[in-house]
């Protein structure tokens, strides 16, 4: 579920800014790190940290795009790739310098323990992650599909030029999308940070999974990204149960290469008629 | 209030009239429309509703009461018909819904499938959606760029009828067209553009009868 | 690309000699490292700098080279170096086919996945790679110290010189075209697929060699050499140094090796500094530091090599007639071309006219192979063109220019000159006079006449009907994918159906 949040943020930023953000994974780590530090210094419980982290990373998402994506809009996509990779390295090494390289634990969302449901033991923590993730995904879906703000965000990512021509203040909606993308990354960082700890070097891994989810689910498609993320989650869980984590990842990457070799447009293709 | 809704220096468009903007491919029709909207700099002084708009951004010019139907329609592909219309509205929720229903009633072609995604619509339906979208905020000036391109004759006739009715209600309409025959039938006056400059200005009926028009149009 | 300046050459040659003569072993080791990173970076420039494709597998190929050298050294000694080159270029060649067809964002993803696989294997295939502990104890048979330094720098200097030599001439122009205007490249007969494959494999080979050297210098190979940080280091150093400048990789490597020494007291801070520098360079000096130095020294940045049309037009030999027979092209349900037939002979100029959307550009695209005809035949004498790729059609003697200039700083005449320079017998010109002044139109007309007199056949699309009337032997008028008139310019212009089509009255007339 946390993957879904990462992928959702990734695709929102992709649609709003029109570019891959290689630093998205490091925004996730940054979210986790802020949760660690804020948790230690304020002693606040995780549910209270959640909005704090979301707010901080919302701002970080905007700053990231302002620094490394939006100024390069007129250049070939590779310029943005390099700029965001550099940004990712800045976040990673910035965290290493300030916090050290050792992994740390983010505060738990709820107390430990488990429920017994029909004889299956469910940890309270994983359950809480699924619930929080589910609520957020549903919330974002509601925002995009059912509100005027969401419609306008989608109109802006569909055709920025035309959106201006019907009087939508495009700049404001792009910033909003980027802030939302950052906030989702931050929350994902907090959720992942308890189970898998927080270490500065994790960013690339998070980013790669979101990238794969979006590429497989259909470039730029929000439901596709969610499906892709859930698919990756299930795939890893089941394959790693049989063969171990590492080989599950190898199988996943080989799968990606095979898909790209046979379907250069991604598994479900680009969304039809971006510019009808 | 003056009845001159658009003034670009070498010609004007008044309330209640359709002006055809003619010229071959590359004559500068799209550049002129984009200059009026503020998408690109133009050497002309553009006045909308009597106001010099050179310092205004695109959104601000549109907010003065300008509707725009771009070349190639450019509907928001992933949004439904209803969402396309709603996204353009600046009005309150209640008023917004009223306008959408009004548009769906005005364009039966859209009223039939309000919840279809825009990229699934036919070319004619997309063109009507682009027009309806431009009308959502009740503009006083409408700019259209090659709206008949690729449409069946029946739908072209339907579209031009809509324009005539809108002009009858007092709207000022600038219709950029390459197919002069069609545009002259719908317009009161016409302006012929060549390499960005106005080379001819005349009542539509007079121009339609002019044998030199074919050469003017073909010259680009 | 300009020849390497004397200063650069002196710096390149002086550094290893200075190191060997003056520096203590520690300093020599650093200079050797600079050479190793520079070799990897130079290989990376081939794909990233010259072709503009973001390859994220270069670090992994470096690692493959290191492992190959470590595994082969005990048995083969110094011969482990060529083995490492092979080991790295082989996966590059295998992956190249499917990967190189991808669009930019999928290309980056695919190479990243490839790199991750290599890294996971390095960590987990313990039988082969020794797992997280890596491999050691092989270095005694490999060159070390001053000998290694000399080897590394000999390879580096040779590679830089070859690189400069290759990219100064035609290859540099080809790379620029492939990078900035792939369609133009294809219509000039440049086989982009083969080009990219060669660049990818050569880049991999250099990475493998660099990896092998790095195994020799460190004496240990661990999974770290295949990791993403190596890739990021390679990418950032090439960007900081200059992604196309022949000395870019060397400058970048020099900084990457020296910065950590300067900032030694701040642990990882040097990487932070380096990342910030990369970002700044991408935004404000995309040419990199090497180019910045050139500019400060007053050297002009290399102006794009714009060809000009020769005054004396050499005659060409080859096919006599280009024939279109019932060519059909559909887009969706629309017939963009609904059975077009006509022929062009050598020494003839044929003008294509018709209203917007009548299929003129589509027709040129279909003839040139950029779009495939759905049916019908296009023949050049006896050779069928309709199933050949664009670069093969270009090599048969068909040249093409484009409606809008696809290259920055390019001119209309350069586009035309390139098409002429391929020795094309038949030229397809798409709106060569768009936006031209009256004087330029006059020059164009006389150029077209000279081309015709030198035995070329020309098909020209333009909206300037006066120009076409002046220069063309025949006009063909298209309307909604059909030929509605064909003949001498005055006849076609007087045709009532043609006049109606320009007024958009075609439906009425038809």
Average pLDDT over residues C132-161: 89
Per-residue pLDDT, C509: 37
Q: What is the pLDDT of residues A134-160, one digit of tens each?
A: 999 999 999 998 999 999 999 998 888
What CATH topology corresponds to C321-509?
Answer: Rossmann fold (3.40.50)
- Please give the average per-residue pLDDT across C311-317, as a whole number: 68
CATH number, residue B201? 3.40.50.300
Considering only CA atoms, which of C106, C116, C120 is closest in space to residue A216? C106
Collect all residues of chain B within an 8 Å Cβ-Cβ radius of residue C355: 24-25, 178-179
Is B97 inside a domain boundary?
no
The pLDDT-based confidence of C505 (bands split at 50, 70, 90) is low
Mean pLDDT computed over B177-195:
89
pLDDT confidence tier of residue A276, bands split at 50, 70 and 90: very low
Dist CA A174 CA A16 (whole Å) = 5
On whether any CB of chain C is under 8 Å from the CB of A250, the answer is: yes
How does pLDDT run across C48-81, given as a tens digit for each residue? Answer: 988 888 889 999 999 999 999 999 998 888 899 9
Q: Nearest CA to B38 among B74, B8, B75, B73?
A: B8
How far is Cα of residue C120 from the mean position of the Cα atoms in its chain?
Answer: 31
Angle between helix axes A2-17 and A148-158 (nearest 10 degrees) is 60
Q: Which of C28-37, C378-387, C496-505 has the lowest mean pLDDT?
A: C496-505
Give the residue-averaged pLDDT of A1-29: 87
DSSP C45: I
Q: What is the pLDDT of residue A3?
A: 82
* Structure token digits, residue C154: 């000999």
Angle between helices B123-135 and B93-106 in degrees, nearest 10: 140
Interface of A with C in 47-106 (CB under 8 A): 67-68, 71-72, 75-79, 81-83, 85-87, 89-90, 93-94, 96-97, 101
User: What letter does residue A106 receive in the DSSP assignment?
Assistant: P
User: What is the rounded CA–CA span in Å between residue A152 and residue C437?
Assistant: 44
- CB pairs A-C closer than 8 Å: 122
pLDDT, position B6: 94
How far apart are alpha carbons C109 and C53 in whole angstroms?
Answer: 12
For A116, residues 6+ apart whose C-beta sits below 8 A from its C-beta are A122
Burial class (CB in 10 A: 0-12, 13-18, 19+), B51: exposed
Residue with tokens 């004759």: B153
Q: How far apart are CA A62 and CA A71, in angstroms?
A: 13
State residue B32's pLDDT score: 95
Report chain A's terminal Cα–Cα distance, integer Å: 33
* Residue B112 resides in a domain: no
- Region A1-9: mean pLDDT is 85
* pLDDT the model gives residue A114: 60
State how many domains chain A has.
1
B100 in any annotated domain: no
Contact A20, A80 (CB under 8 A): yes
SS3 label, residue C402: coil
CB contact under 8 A, B149 and C356: yes
Banded model confidence at residue B1, pLDDT cuts 50, 70, 90: low
Q: Which residues in chain A touch residue C272, judged by CB atoms under 8 angstroms apart?
A: 89-90, 93-94, 97
Mean of the pLDDT values across residues A54-80? 87
CB contact under 8 A, C116 and A208: yes
A262 within a domain of the structure (yes/no): no
CA distance C340 to C338: 6
Query: What percentage of chain A reaches a pLDDT higher than 70?
Result: 90
Q: Average the pLDDT over C11-23 and give the result.
A: 90
C414-441 tens-digit pLDDT: 777 888 777 788 999 988 877 677 788 8
The neighbour count for residue B39, using CB atoms within 10 Å, is 18
SS (H, E, C) chain B: CCCEEEECCCCEEECCCEEEEECCCCCCHHHHHHHHHCCCCCCCCCEECCEECCCCCHHHHHHCCEEEECCCCCCCCCCEHHHHHHHHCCCCHHHHHHHHHHHHHHCHHHHCCCCCEHHHCCHHHHHHHHHHHHHCCCCCEEEEECCCCCCCHHHHHHHHHHHHHHHHCCCEEEEEECCHHHHHHHCCEEEEEECCEEEEEEEHHHHHCCCCHHHHHHCC
Question: pLDDT (tens digit, 9 = 90+) per residue, B79-111?
Answer: 999 999 999 998 899 999 999 999 999 999 899
* Residue A113 in domain: yes
Would strands B189-194 and B172-177 be described as parallel, antiparallel, or unpaired? unpaired
Q: Tell whether B190 is covered by a domain.
A: yes
Range of the domain at B8: 4-74+123-218
Select the residue of C123, C235, C279 nearest A246 (Cβ to Cβ): C123
Domain with CATH 3.40.50.300 in chain C: 321-509
Q: Per the structure, how many domains does chain B have?
A: 1
pLDDT in the model for residue C314 = 67
Percentage with pLDDT > 70 across chain C: 92
In tens, the pLDDT along C447-460 reads 899 889 888 999 99
**Percent of chain A as helix, strand, coil, to the nearest 5:** 75, 5, 20
Largest Cα separation within chain A, whole Å, is 59
pLDDT in tens, A117-139: 655 566 777 788 888 889 999 99
Q: Which chains touch A (3 or more CB pairs under 8 A)?
A: B, C
Give the pLDDT of residue B133: 95
Contact call for B181 and C464, based on CB within 8 A:
no
- For the complex shown, is ipTM > 0.90? no
What domain range is A87 assigned to?
2-200
The strand pairing partners of B197, in sequence order, are: B194
Is A259's Cβ below 8 Å from some Cβ in B? no
Nearest chain B residue to A221, by CA: B78
Q: Which pLDDT does position A269 carry in this prediction?
A: 53
Residues of B in contact with A271 (CB under 8 A): 77-78
Distance from CA of B164 to the nearest CA of C (A): 19
DSSP string, A182-205: HHHHHHHHHHHHHHS-B-GGGHHH
CB contacts under 8 A, A 10-39 vs C, are 20
Tokens of C65: 């080279």
Q: What are the two backbone dihedrals, phi and then psi, of residue C348, each rounded to the nearest 5 degrees?
A: -135, 140
Q: Looking at the domain assignment, is residue B113 inside a domain?
A: no
């Amino acid at each position: 579920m946390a993957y879904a949040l990462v992928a959702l943020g990734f695709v929102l930023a992709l649609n709003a800014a029109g570019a891959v953000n290689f630093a998205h994974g490091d925004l996730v780590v940054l979210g986790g790190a802020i949760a660690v530090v804020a948790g230690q210094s304020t002693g606040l419980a995780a549910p209270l940290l959640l909005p704090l982290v979301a707010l901080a990373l919302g701002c970080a998402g905007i700053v990231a795009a302002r620094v490394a994506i939006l100024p390069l809009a007129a250049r070939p996509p590779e310029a943005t790739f390099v700029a965001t990779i550099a940004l990712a390295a800045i976040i990673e090494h910035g965290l290493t310098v300030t916090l050290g390289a050792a992994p740390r634990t983010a505060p738990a969302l709820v107390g430990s323990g488990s429920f017994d449901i029909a004889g299956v033991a469910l940890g309270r923590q994983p359950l809480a992650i699924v619930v929080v993730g589910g609520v957020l995904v549903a919330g974002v879906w509601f925002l995009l599909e059912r509100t005027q703000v969401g419609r306008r965000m989608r109109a802006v990512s569909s055709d920025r030029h035309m959106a201006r021509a019907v009087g939508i203040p495009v700049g404001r909606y792009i910033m909003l999308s980027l802030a939302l993308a950052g906030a989702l990354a931050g929350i994902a960082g907090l959720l992942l940070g308890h189970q898998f700890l927080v270490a500065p070097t994790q960013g690339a891994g998070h980013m790669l999974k979101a990238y794969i989810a979006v590429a497989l689910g259909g470039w730029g498609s929000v439901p596709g990204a969610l499906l892709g993320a859930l698919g990756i989650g299930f795939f890893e869980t089941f394959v790693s149960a049989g063969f171990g984590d590492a080989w599950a990842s190898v199988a996943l990457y080989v799968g990606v290469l095979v898909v790209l070799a046979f379907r250069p447009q991604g598994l479900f293709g680009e969304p039809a008629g971006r510019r009808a | 209030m003056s009845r001159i809704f658009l003034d670009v220096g070498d010609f004007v468009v008044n309330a209640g009239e359709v002006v055809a903007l003619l010229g071959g491919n590359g004559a500068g029709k799209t550049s002129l429309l984009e200059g009026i909207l503020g998408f690109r700099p133009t050497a002309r002084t553009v006045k909308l509703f009597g106001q010099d708009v050179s310092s205004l951004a695109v959104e601000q010019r549109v907010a003065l009461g300008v509707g725009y139907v771009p070349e190639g329609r450019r509907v928001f592909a992933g949004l439904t018909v209803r969402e396309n219309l709603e996204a353009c509205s600046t009005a309150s929720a209640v008023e917004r819904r009223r306008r959408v229903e009004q548009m769906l009633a005005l364009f039966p072609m859209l009223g039939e499938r309000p919840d279809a995604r825009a990229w699934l619509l036919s070319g004619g339906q997309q063109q009507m959606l682009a027009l309806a979208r431009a009308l959502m905020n009740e503009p006083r000036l409408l700019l259209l760029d090659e709206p008949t391109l690729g449409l069946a004759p029946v739908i072209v006739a339907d579209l031009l009828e809509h324009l005539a009715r809108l002009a009858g209600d007092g709207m000022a309409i600038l219709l950029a067209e390459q197919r002069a025959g069609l545009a002259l039938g719908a317009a009161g006056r016409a302006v012929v553009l060549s390499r960005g400059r106005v080379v001819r200005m005349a009542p539509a009926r007079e121009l339609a009868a002019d044998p030199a028009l074919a050469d003017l149009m073909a010259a680009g | 690309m300009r020849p390497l300046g004397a200063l650069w050459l002196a710096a390149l040659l002086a550094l290893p000699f200075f190191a060997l003569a003056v520096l203590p072993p520690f300093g020599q080791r650093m200079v050797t490292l600079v050479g190793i990173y520079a070799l990897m970076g130079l290989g990376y420039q081939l794909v990233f700098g010259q072709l503009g494709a973001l390859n994220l597998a270069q670090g992994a190929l470096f690692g493959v080279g290191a492992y190959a050298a470590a595994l082969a050294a005990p048995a083969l000694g110094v011969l482990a170096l060529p083995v490492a080159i092979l080991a790295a270029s082989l996966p590059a060649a295998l992956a190249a086919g499917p990967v190189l067809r991808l669009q930019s964002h999928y290309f980056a993803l695919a190479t990243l996945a490839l790199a991750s696989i290599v890294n996971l294997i390095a960590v987990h295939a313990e039988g082969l790679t020794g797992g997280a502990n890596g491999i050691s104890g092989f270095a005694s048979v490999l060159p070390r110290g001053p000998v290694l330094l000399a080897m590394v720098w000999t390879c580096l200097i040779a590679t830089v010189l070859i690189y400069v030599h290759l990219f100064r001439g035609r290859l540099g122009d080809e790379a620029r075209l492939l990078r900035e205007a792939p369609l133009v490249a294809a219509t000039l007969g440049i086989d982009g697929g083969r080009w990219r494959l060669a660049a990818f494999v050569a880049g991999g080979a250099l990475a493998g060699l660099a990896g092998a050297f790095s195994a020799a210098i460190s004496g240990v190979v661990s999974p770290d050499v295949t990791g993403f940080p190596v890739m990021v280091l390679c990418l950032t150093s090439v960007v900081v140094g200059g992604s196309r400048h022949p000395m870019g990789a060397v400058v970048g490597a020099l900084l990457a090796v020296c910065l950590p020494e300067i900032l030694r007291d701040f642990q990882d801070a040097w990487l932070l500094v380096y990342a910030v520098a990369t970002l700044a360079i991408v935004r404000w000096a995309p040419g990199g530091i090497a180019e910045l130095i050139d500019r400060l020294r007053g050297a002009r940045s290399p102006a794009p090599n714009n060809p000009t049309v020769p005054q004396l037009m050499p005659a060409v030999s080859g096919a006599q007639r280009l024939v279109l027979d019932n060519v059909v092209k559909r887009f969706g349900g629309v017939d963009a071309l609904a059975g077009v037939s006509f022929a062009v002979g050598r020494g003839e100029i044929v003008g294509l006219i018709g209203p917007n959307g009548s299929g003129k550009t589509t027709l040129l695209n279909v003839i040139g192979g950029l779009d495939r005809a759905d049916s019908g035949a296009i023949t050049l004498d006896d050779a069928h063109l309709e199933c050949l790729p664009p670069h093969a059609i270009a090599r048969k003697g068909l040249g093409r220019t484009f409606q809008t200039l696809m290259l920055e700083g390019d001119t209309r005449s350069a586009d035309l000159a390139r098409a002429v320079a391929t020795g094309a017998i038949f030229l397809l010109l798409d709106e060569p006079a768009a936006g031209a002044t009256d004087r330029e139109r006059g020059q164009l007309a006389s150029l077209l006449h000279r081309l015709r007199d030198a035995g070329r056949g020309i098909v020209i699309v333009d909206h300037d009907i006066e120009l076409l009337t002046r220069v063309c032997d025949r006009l063909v008028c298209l309307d909604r994918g059909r030929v509605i008139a064909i003949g001498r310019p005055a006849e076609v212009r007087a045709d009532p159906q043609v006049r109606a089509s320009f007024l958009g009255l075609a439906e009425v007339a038809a």
